[in-house]
Structure 1
Amino acid sequence: MARCSELLAICLCILLMLSWCEALSSNVDDGYGHEDGSFESDSLLKLNKNDDVLTLISSDDNTTSASSTVSVSDFGAKGDGKTDDTQAFKKAWKKACSTNGVSKFLVPKGKTYLLKSTRFRGPCKSLRNFQILGTLSASTKRSDYKNDKNHWLILEDVNNLSIDGGSTGIIEGNGKIWWQNSCKIDKSKPCTKAPTALTLYNLKKLNVKNLRVKNAQQIQISIEKCNNVKVKNVAITAPDDSPNTDGIHITNTQNIQISNSEIGTGDDCISIEDGSQNVQINDLTCGPGHGISIGSLGDDNSKAYVSGINVDGAKLSSTDNGVRIKTYQGGSGTAKNIQFQNIRMENVKNPIIIDQNYCDKEKCEQQESAVQVSNVVYRNISGTSATDVAITFNCSEKYPCKGIVLENVNIKGGTASCKNANVQDQGTVSPRCSSNYFLM
């Protein structure tokens, strides 16, 4: 009898399972898919652990964690280089930024997207990738920037983000119309601001790679108030006579590494300003341009603090400056713990320069205060100077430069001019600061 009871129980279980499978098959055929069991909707099957029942959960449910790609094409972007795609980009960003689960914002390759001033603002739920495979082209109508003349593209308040240009992505600033109206080009024009092509603001754990930026209206890439940033394999270009087109501008940013990049512009290849700490630059090719600059610091009698700057591995060709530190009279603060090493310079006008008396105004008055420059090392630097002076230390009488070290420096074609600087030579150094200069 016991044997019969066991067999009966097994048969009943088999019948219940067959009945359940038939019901499930019926549900799949009724509105959710085809007879082969595939689903047409984006819905997911999810097991509720509380009651061990298989339930259907919509992909719009907040508990979903599937990854997704949001393409600007899905929101009407034409990509013909003529149609204004600004609104399509804004709608796509809103979707990508608010999507649950890991998401990607995609600009497809092979097309050119015309954009006015556009702000991509977070915080986002799980956006991890901003992929630019096509070309972003700036509107050439200056009236399109009347609400914000300082920015073209802004990305802000997003963490753990990767900006990737692949092998085809381009940011084209179309800056010629702005350069022509600059007071630096046409003295009869008033000095007005122009947009920065790409502003990265208040981002943490940012990774920028394989990006190409061209012909910015003014600064090409500005990295502001960010932390933990990696920039790798970027190419930045603009004509050598384009005004204020700094390649990468860094301000109020900590822990940033720039590597394997090429920059040629009409201004600084890289400029580092107040609030920047722990900046690492490796394997940089620079030229044309104004070289690598720390500053300007202390303008309008302000305080400025910069520290932990390390340039290791760079080649500069036909630039107006090589490695430069520039501060205004009347400012205060410090620029310290700076190292330039393993650098090759070819036909550079001012290969090594510290200028604590920098002035870009028509009339400059002598002031007593200055930003203190200290602990600066120049190591393994070689090349040729395009001017008669290869090394310039023009330091403040009240706040002279301290702890300046020249180690294995060999720059041909120029002399050294050293004023109010404490300079120590190590290894082979040429040219040297003469003994008749004021060494504290």
Structure 2
Amino acid sequence: MHFSILLLVLSTTASAAVVKTGSTCVVTPLGETRVARSIDAIPAGDRDFGESIAELYKSAGAPGALGHYPRPAPSKGSTPPVYVQPSARESTEVSARSAAAAVDDTPQILDAFKQCGTDGTVIFSEGTFNIRQVMNTTALRNCSIEIHGTFVWPADNIQYWLSHSYSVTYAGRSTAWLFGGRDVSMRGFGKALFNGNGQVWIDQNKNAGNQNGRPISLTIWKGTNIFIDGITWRQAQFWHTFVAHSQNVTMTNLDMNTTSHSQYKAVNTDGVDTWNSRDVRIANWTVGCGDDCISVKGNSTNIHVSNITCYSSGGMCVGSMGSNAGQPDYVDNVVFEDVQLYRSSNAAWIKTYPGSGHVRNVTFRNIHFENVNQPIYVTSCIYSYQNCDSSRLAISNVRWENITGTSRYNVAAAIHCSSSAPCTDFSFSGIDIKPMNGGSAKTLCSNIKNQATSGLTCTGPCPGSQPQQLTGNV
């Protein structure tokens, strides 16, 4: 279909900031005087003409496909790339500009999705969009979204977010943006930037865990055939992303970094958590955060994670799960492979509460790390470290293959399975973990049913009280 070129000089009024041509809506920030362009006016090099949503999803989900901005797979022993942290000044300046403008682009963003969210295209031009209200865009159908600018969630209205963020059910968590539908793509072309002004959230939170109302940046909610690619996050409010009650989700070529520049830590800034979802593919990510890099939570099935680099994170994790004793949690068919980790708490690990359900068929493969606190870790009683042997949540058929690097202390692996449901069919191969300060690495194990044939030589028992993070050699 051919669209004529339409150029319109905008004022700062809301009515002029969405230009619709056919089934395409072009959105321009209200706080800036810019030129809105129709679909033909976007340079061909910045767009993919004629590619349907179905074709996009199919190609992205194909084995070996890496999306639009592939990065080379990490190699063992490679030098970590220079990773530029966002400066405190940068974050403060963005927040100040947003607050001073007092502009809210939320109504026009929602209007564009209303007009072009079914069998259409929504294009966000270059510039800064201020989002001052929660957004629910879960009714999209066959919609292509292009983001060429910056989305900023101003932090001068924290009380609004604490009281208005949408519940996502899981553990009392909430989100700033519920995103979903069927056959939907969101592409940033390596240009899109999401800024949550996270430093303000970190400082007001004061190291507390899981503050109620503190919003997840983006939640894929009840979505089917969702494709997200080429977006950068800086200073997220809470978790960067959450995938819940969704199926066939592909997220590729994402860059995330939330770092504290104050005395408080960037707690609960996970890269992504999956929950009650299946057929999720995560590839080509760079993440700097203060919590789990990739976390697969309860009732997640067929999750594939590949080509990930994480800094100062919690690494690749199954869990936590099993916190509700009356509701079993299940995780099946998970692969983490081709991962590099730097200065992380753990590398390849599983954390459960003393609950019920199971973890089955999990592979940690080709994971290399430097300066990781306790690389391989399994616990049946995370956080409380009590009633560890009462858990009925069975963990079986887990493989650790080619796990290499340096541990901060002298424990390479600490595995405590519940005596009420011993771990079965564990397999270890290519394990080469050396303490940073020299000496021999310990491997502590308890209640692994096939320990003798697992491929792991255990140097001693692992107590249920073994913490997730150590403070020194044991």
TM-score computed with the length of structure 1 as normaliser: 0.76
Alpha-carbon distance, 1:148 to partner: 2.0
Whole-angstrom CA distance in 2 between matches of 1:422 and 1:244: 34
User: Do structure 1's residue 370 and structure 2's residue 392 form an aligned pair?
Assistant: yes
Is this contact kept in 2: 1:93–1:120, CA < 8 A? no
1:237 aligns with 2:257: yes
Indicate whether 1:108 and 2:125 are aligned: yes
Question: Alpha-carbon deviation of 1:167?
Answer: 2.2
Q: 2:190 aligns with which of 167, 173, 194?
A: 167
> CA offset at residue 125 of structure 1?
4.8
Distance, in Å, in 1 between the alignment partners of 2:139 and 2:32 is 27
Q: Confirm or deny: 8 A CA contact 1:326 1:355 kept in the other structure.
A: yes
Of 121, 133, 143, which residue of structure 1 is paired with 2:148?
133
Question: Mapping of 1:328-343 within 5 angstroms?
Answer: 328-329=353-354, 331-343=355-367
The DSSP-based 3-state class of the residue aligned with 1:359 is coil
Partners of 2:256 and 2:343 in 1: how far apart? 16
The answer to which structure has the higher strand fraction is 1
Matched ranges for 1:1-400 at <5 A: 68-73=23-28, 76=30, 78=32, 81=98, 82=101, 83-98=103-118, 102-109=119-126, 111-127=127-143, 129-140=144-155, 141-145=157-161, 146-148=163-165, 150-156=174-180, 158-182=181-205, 184=207, 191-239=211-259, 241-301=265-325, 302-329=327-354, 331-360=355-384, 364=386, 368-400=390-422
For 1:314 and 1:77, how far apart are their aligned partners in 2? 41
Q: Which has the larger radius of gyration?
A: 1
2:455 paired with 1:419: no
Contact kept, 8 Å, 2:233 with 2:257, in 1: the verdict is yes
Deviation at 1:353, TM superposition (A): 0.8
Mark the CA change 1:435 to 1:172 in structure 2 (over 3 Å): closer, same or farther.
closer
* Aligned-partner SS, 2:194: strand
Structure 1 residue 437: deviation in Å? 7.7
CA 1:404–1:71: 2 relative to 1, 3 Å:
same
Residue type of the alignment partner of 2:239: I
Partner of residue 434, structure 1: 459
Change (3 A) 1:287 1:40: closer
Which segments of 5 or more consecutive residues in structure 2 lack a partner in the other structure?
A: 7-20, 34-96, 167-173, 436-440, 464-474
The equivalent residue for 1:10 is none
- What is the CA–CA distance in structure 2 between the aligned matches of 1:39 and 1:399, rounded to whole Å? 66
Cα distance, 1:123 vs structure 2: 2.7
* Residue segments in structure 1 that go unaligned for 5+ positions in a row: 1-37, 42-65
8 Å CA contact 1:406–1:423 kept in 2: the answer is no
Q: Percent identity at matched positions?
A: 25
Shift of 1:426: 7.7
Residue 298 of structure 1 aligns to a residue whose secondary structure is: coil
Report how far residue 359 of structure 1 moved: 2.3
For the aligned residue pairs, the C-alpha RMSD in angstroms reads 2.8
Cα 1:223/1:77, change in 2 over 3 Å: farther
Alignment of 1:405-416 (within 5 A): 405-413=427-435, 414-416=441-443
The change in CA–CA distance for 1:204 and 1:434 in structure 2 (over 3 A counts) is same
Q: Give the structure-2-normalised TM-score.
A: 0.71
Report the alpha carbon displacement of residue 73 of structure 1 after superposing the two structures with TM: 2.2
Q: Retained in 2: the 8 A contact 1:406–1:425?
A: no
